[in-house]
Amino acid sequence: MHIKQYLFSFFILVSFQMLSQEEVNVDFFVVDDTTENVVSTAQIYLKSGKYIGTTSEEGKVTFRGPENKSFQIIVFSYEYQIYEQVVNMTNDTASFTIRLKKLSEELSEVFIENYQKKVFNLKRFKDVEGTAIYAGKKTEVVLVDQIVGNLASNNARQVMSQVVGLNIYDVGDGGLQLSVGGRGLDPNRTANFNTRQNGYDISADVLGYPESYYTPTAEALAEIQVIRGAASLQYGTQFGGLINFKLKEPVKNKEIEFVTRNTVGSFGLKTNFSSLSGTKGKFSYYTFFNYKEGDGYRANSNFDSKNFYGYIAYDFSKKTKLSFEATYLNYLAKQSGGLSDVQFLEDPSQSNRTRNWFEVNWKLLALKFKHKISEKTDFSLNLFALDAHRKSLGFRVNQRFSEPNPFDTDEQDQNGNFLQERDLLVGVFRNWGAETRWLTRYKAFSKDAVLLVGSKIYNANNTSQQGPGSKGSDADFDFYSSEFPQYRNQSEFKYPNFNASVFAENIFKFSDYFSLTPGVRYEYIKTISEGTYSPELIEDNNRFERNILLVGLGASYKPTNYFESYANISQNYRSVTFSDIRVTSPSFTVAEDITDEKGYTADIGVRGKYRKFVSYDANLFGLLYEGKIGTNFEDRVGWVRDNIGTAVVYGLESLIDWNLQETFWKNSNYKLNIFINGAITDSKYTKSRFNGVAGKKVEFIPLVNIKSGLGFGYKNLIGSLQYTYLSEQFTDVTNAPYKSDNETTVAGAIPSYDILDLSFAYTYKMFKFETGINNLLNRAYFTRRATGYPGPGIITSDPRAYYFTMQLKF
């Protein structure tokens, strides 16, 4: 494709057009309408969404724009009503005084929600925030405060309902693990996204094992930011892009704010979330503790989780800020194993695995330094470290059979003793990283330009060990290698990986409306694995070094009134991971010559608002994969991960929200909106080195993926009704269909399913009550066929479930 060349000639044309025009300076002063006091940190935007600036200590912002043009500006500051005015750029050095009206003390939930949404709509069009560039990319932001849903158990279907085309594993583990994918990427543990919390990595090993065992609790989140494939240049090379969980920030106007939320729900769910937040002078802090326990809906399952988080920040000045955060998570879950199709149809709540356990321990530290070098230049430094492990123990398959089958019974003798030792897998993850970013605003061809330059180093020292566990049934995470020396799957590996990268992106503005953002990323990746595997302890040392250069280009066109169109194309890359290289389950092996995946992602889309009440965000996308790694039924024992071939994935994604209240009533006591979030995705393997694969569809891609809902409210009562529908999706490269009589394999399509969720929230003074019903239609369904843990087999999703949360805030 020659998109770059086309765009380049296009850019020259535009820049000629825009070169000659007189510009004038205009000053804005923002004051409180009643007290006449200066309002600092008020933000001023053009109605097109262009950010002009934030008021200084003197309440002043200067705007430079073309002479004799008029602009509609919007001014916003927390605690004040949003203000709009038309400004004529008649003469130089004119000044305007803007008087903001205070919000009243008693505001209904419906009002606050509307207000937040307006503020959000202002901010979402920013090209640059802090030291990150968003121009020309498909970005999505979830405002977690606005979600009416089951936050206590991180119900991803509700929490991420505004993110388009996500394929989510609905597993009833209290939301301990988030598994989302999109655009044909395997959802398992969100491994195809670069997953971050407050901007730093939280997965086990960004390159070697990008799986997210820790997911921040939704109750502590402010926003979830998603940037699709084009994020590859700034964040990491993954095809999925970036998911960043932005936790709540310290409250600004209080020294101490206490929030406690207690939830009870179906299947023994009990959670507590308690947080403290505040600011005193230059110090600010936010901390929470989150406890979760539940029995799960199936037999032989339960979980118990403790999560702690602390954040403290010190503002040296308006320009310099240092913050430190620490996260701790520990949980133990009993897993009920997978089911065959026959078993699922018989009774989805049954379990044939009575002694499978999973334990996770995650400790994260991060130190962040932000400094405004000048009005035009920002700098940030992130240092982060992870010390973690996860242990999984359980009976998977009966290795005495010549062709082990994932649904074999876990045999016991007459006395009830188990005959087989369990499989134990222990992964230890120790790594640290540093990321610096430097962003400056300058003039190129006398037009605004923004340059971002950054670099990241990442050092991992991880180990994994697999071997026989005990024959017992307790959560005994010790190896029993001397008792069972003949155990088939034994291995011990070290993975000292190192990765360094530098990246740059630049926004070139060719007019007030049009910009191009080229970018480049260079990566040096060193992957090493050293160790032995079983049962003869064969040595297997691999060293794999590569240098990768990725490029991309984004274009953005933002004329007026909340409209933007954008297009981008970038290269992506996914390095082979540990889970690709090493055996993780007896029903799962790996091809020896497996290599990295390479490809492109492209988006073209529009987003904006139609007459204040319909907001839309729609785009086409395409992905081209070379050497896509997939799960391939290549061994009688089970699955093999291997480079399957070249695949293309393409489709349409759209999110449309219609504000009925704004359209028909204009009464701010009411809230009524409907949204439809839909993706249509198709795919194809264009070539493959395996027989019978070329021409088949890519796994995990439902043709239709819809989440649609109704939001409603009156004063302090708000509610939501959400309908989710996903059409059938295949789970293997040969497109094995769904078979109701299957009792031997984990291959087979996942049938289509539809789910209805109903939720309410009511606020009364310092109390907030939240309640709802998930899976109101009580569908028996599943979203996942696990090839290894926590199955193998069908992992069923929860039937109808209730929850009730009481929040106290003071």
CB-wise, 177 or 681, nearer to other proteins? 681
CB of 509 to other proteins, least distance (A): 14
Type of residue found at 14: V
Nearer residue to other proteins within complex by CB, 590 or 795: 590
Classify 257 as helix, strand or coil. strand
Q: What is the rounded end-to-end Cα distance, in angstroms, of the chain?
A: 58
In the bound state with other proteins, the residue whose beta carbon lies nearer, of 179 and 735, is 735
| Residue 475: CB minimum distance to other proteins, A | 25
Task: Using the minimum distance from each CB to other proteins, give the nearer residue, 118 or 684.
Answer: 684
CB 555, min distance to other proteins, A: 7
Nearer to other proteins, 234 or 742 (CB): 742
Residue 300 CB, shortest distance to other proteins, in Å, is 21
The minimum distance between CB 592 and other proteins, in angstroms, equals: 10
Give the nearest distance from C-beta 686 to other proteins in angstroms: 8
The nearer residue to other proteins, 397 or 758, going by C-beta atoms, is 397
DSSP annotation of 736: P
SS3 for 610-650, per residue? ECCCEEEEEEEEEEEEEEEEEEEEEECCEEEEEEEEEEEEE
Residue type, 793: G
Smallest separation, CB 624 to other proteins (Å): 7
Which phi and psi angles does 115 have, rounded to 5°? -65, -45
In the complex, the smallest distance separating the C-beta of residue 26 from other proteins, rounded to whole angstroms, is: 28
Instruction: Give me the least distance between CB of 9 and other proteins, in Å please.
Output: 11
CB nearer to other proteins: pick between 165 and 278: 165
Q: Which is nearer to other proteins, 563 or 803 (CB)?
A: 563
CB of 171 to other proteins, least distance (A): 24
Q: Which is nearer to other proteins, 387 or 728 (CB)?
A: 728
Residue placing its CB nearer to other proteins in the complex, 602 or 756: 602
Q: Which amino acid is at 186?
A: D
Closer CB to other proteins, 41 or 646, in the complex: 646
Tell me which residue has tokens 């026959």.
342
Instruction: Classify residue 708 by burial, with Cβ atoms within 10 Å: 0-12, 13-18, 19+.
Output: middle
Report CA dihedral (579, 582, 588, 594) to the nearest 10 degrees.
80
Q: Under a CB-based contact definition with an 8 Å cutoff, are residues 98 and 120 in contact?
A: no
- Cβ 205 to other proteins shortest distance, Å: 28
For other proteins, the closer CB: 179 or 683: 683
Minimum CB–partner distance for residue 471 and other proteins (Å): 12
Backbone angles phi, psi at 663, to 5 degrees: -70, -45
Q: What is the 3-state secondary structure (H, E, C) of 259-283?
A: EEEEEEECCCEEEEEEEEEEEECCE
Say how many C-beta atoms besides its own lie within 10 A of residue 416's C-beta: 7
CA distances from 212 to 64, 164, 201, 389, 459 (A): 45, 20, 10, 12, 17
> To the nearest whole angstrom, how small is the minimum distance from the Cβ of residue 547 to other proteins?
28
User: In degrees rounded to 5, what are phi and psi of residue 808?
Assistant: -125, 130
d(CA 519, CA 506): 6
Q: Give me the residues paired with residue 183 across strands.
A: none
Say which residues have a Cβ less than 8 Å from residue 800's Cβ, sequence separation at least 6: 266, 773, 774, 775, 776, 777, 778
Q: Quick one: which of 247, 361, 221 has its CA closest to 304? A: 361
Query: Which one, 318 or 687, has the nearer CB to other proteins?
Result: 687
Least separation, in Å, of the C-beta of 417 and other proteins? 11
Record the tokens describing residue 247, joined without a space: 């936790």
Q: Report the alpha-carbon distance of residue 542 to residue 173 in Å, rounded.
A: 36
538, 251 Cβ separation under 8 angstroms = no
Q: How far is the CB of 413 from other proteins (least distance, A)?
A: 7
C-beta of residue 469 within 8 angstroms of C-beta of residue 481: no
Nearer to other proteins, 542 or 740 (CB): 740
Interface residues with other proteins (CB under 8 A) are 1, 3, 6, 10, 14, 398, 400-403, 405, 408, 411, 413-414, 419, 514, 555, 557, 559, 565, 567, 602, 604, 620, 622, 624, 633-636, 640, 648, 650, 682-684, 686, 690-693, 695-696, 732-737, 739, 741-745, 747-748
Given a contact cutoff of 8 angstroms between Cβ atoms, the answer to whether 618 and 609 are in contact is no
Rounded Cα–Cα distance for residues 388 and 386 (Å): 6
Q: Which residue type is seen at 155? A: N
Q: Are 167 and 181 in contact (CB under 8 A)?
A: yes
Nearer to other proteins among residue 262 and residue 734 (C-beta): 734
Torsion angles phi and psi, residue 189, rounded to 5: 50, 30
Q: Which is nearer to other proteins, 178 or 507 (CB)?
A: 507
* DSSP-derived secondary structure letter, 731: -
Minimum distance from residue 365 beta carbon to other proteins (Å): 43
In our burial notation (b when 16+ CB lie closer than 10 A, e otherwise), range 4-27 reads eeebeeebeebbeebeeeeebebe
Closer residue to other proteins, CB minimum distance, 650 or 670:
650
Smallest distance, other proteins to C-beta of residue 512, A: 14
Q: Which long-range contacts (CB under 8 A, 24 or more apart) does 409-415 make?
A: 409/352, 410/352, 410/353, 410/354, 410/355
Which value, to the nearest 10 degrees, does the dihedral of the CA atoms of residues 186, 191, 193, 199 take? 160
* C-alpha dihedral (776, 780, 781, 787), degrees to nearest 10: 140
Residue 786 backbone class (left: φ over 0; alpha: ψ -120 to 50; beta: rest): beta
Scan for tokens 């009830």, then name that residue.
416
